């Protein structure tokens, strides 16, 4: 049952985060095989993907509680059309990867929408009722219907999770912040290939009185969501 009552995460940082269930969405960013599994886009850039696998249980917990309390859940995927018409050459050529976007890899074509690699990992599979926003960029708002979707649902606050912290999660959070959403990042439900980048991103987000937003642990978010 969805409720409009106000919730508060007292120990969010840099200070308490207030939200209501009916105006908040959980956004799960890019928990796709291409970033999480060996042989995908993340690995093609030379990254060890195993640190990203460590947050799967935390994201599962967030999803379970959000579904239990009836909160809106939205998933994103970073991916491109098969003809790569939405992939700028500058993006495809960047990074000197072993495999470029659109090349055939062990999980099909890298970051192409209908390939196995572009799918959300089975452990976090979206429900039929949950929107999946395909995005050609790092940010979830650029060239996507996300803002219209949030407006139609009356969403004003966003709880973020997913990968990678300093790239698609942070870019999406900054885009959301500039559009007037209050944003909170689940500290242990986001991960980076670079541990120091995750630490710095969390610091940057909550600096200067929550200049980009708030952060809080999954445990604190779960407690607030379940509070009646
Ligand atoms: C990257 C993402 N890292 N989902 N994408 O290229 O963070």
Query: Residue 214: which residues within 8 A CB-CB, separation 6 or more?
Result: 9, 12, 13, 14, 15, 17, 182, 183, 184, 185, 205, 206
Q: Is the CB of 30 under 6 A from ligand 1?
A: yes
Name the residue with tokens 């796709």: 32
User: Of all protein residues, whose CA lies closest to atom 5 belonging to ligand 1?
Assistant: 168
Residues 199-213: tens digit of each pLDDT: 999 999 999 999 999
3 band by pLDDT with thresholds 50, 70 and 90: low
Residues 163-193: tens digit of each pLDDT: 999 999 999 999 999 999 999 999 999 999 9
Does residue 5 surpass a pLDDT of 90? no
Residues 126-164: tens digit of each pLDDT: 999 999 999 999 999 999 999 999 999 999 999 999 999
Q: Is the CB of 164 under 6 A from ligand 1?
A: yes
Ligand 1 centre to CA of 200 (Å) is 16
4 band by pLDDT with thresholds 50, 70 and 90: low
Ligand 1 centre to CA of 216 (Å) is 22
- Whole-prediction pTM: 0.97
Q: Is the CB of 31 under 6 A from ligand 1?
A: no
Spacing of C-alpha 92 from chain mean position: 22
SS3 of the chain: the string is CCCCCEEEECCCECCCEEEEHHHEEEEEECCEHHHHCCCCHHHHCCCCCHHHHCCHHHHHHHHHHHHHHCCEEEEEEECECCCCCCCCHHHHHCCCCCCCCCCEEECEECCECCCHHHCECHHHCCCCCCEEEEECCCCCCCCCCHHHHHHHHCCCEEEEEEECHHHHHHHHHHHHHHCCCEEEEEEEEEECCCHHHHHHHHHHHHHHHHCCCEEECHHHHHHHHHCC
Q: Are 26 and 72 in contact (CB under 8 A)?
A: yes
Does residue 1 surpass a pLDDT of 60? no
pLDDT at 80: 98
Residues 64-92: tens digit of each pLDDT: 999 999 999 999 999 999 999 999 999 99
User: Distance (Å, rounded) from C-alpha 200 to C-alpha 161?
Assistant: 16
Catalogue the active-site residues.
Answer: 30, 135, 168
Residues 46-70: tens digit of each pLDDT: 999 999 999 999 999 999 999 999 9
Q: Is the CB of 163 under 6 A from ligand 1?
A: yes
Ligand 1 centre to CA of 73 (Å) is 20
């Amino acid at each position: 049952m969805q409720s409009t009552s106000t919730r508060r995460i007292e120990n969010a940082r840099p200070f308490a985060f207030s939200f209501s269930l009916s105006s908040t969405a959980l956004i799960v960013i890019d928990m796709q095989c291409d970033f999480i599994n060996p042989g995908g886009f993340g690995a093609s850039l030379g990254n060890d993907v195993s640190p990203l696998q460590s947050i799967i249980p935390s994201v599962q917990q967030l999803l379970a509680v959000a579904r239990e309390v009836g909160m809106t859940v939205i998933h994103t995927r970073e991916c491109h059309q098969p003809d790569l018409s939405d992939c700028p050459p500058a993006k495809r050529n960047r990074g000197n990867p072993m495999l470029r976007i659109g090349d055939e890899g062990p999980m099909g074509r890298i970051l192409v929408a209908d390939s196995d690699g572009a799918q959300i990992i089975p452990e976090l599979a979206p429900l039929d009722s949950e929107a999946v926003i395909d995005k050609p960029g790092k940010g979830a708002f650029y060239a996507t219907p996300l803002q219209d979707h949030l407006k139609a649902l009356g969403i004003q606050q966003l709880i973020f999770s997913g990968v990678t912290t300093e790239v698609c999660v942070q870019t999406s959070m900054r885009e959301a912040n500039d559009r007037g959403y209050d944003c909170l990042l689940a500290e242990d439900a986001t991960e980076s290939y670079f541990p120091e980048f995750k630490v710095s991103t969390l610091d940057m987000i909550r600096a200067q009185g929550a200049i980009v937003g708030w952060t809080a642990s999954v445990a604190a978010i779960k407690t607030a969501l379940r509070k009646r």
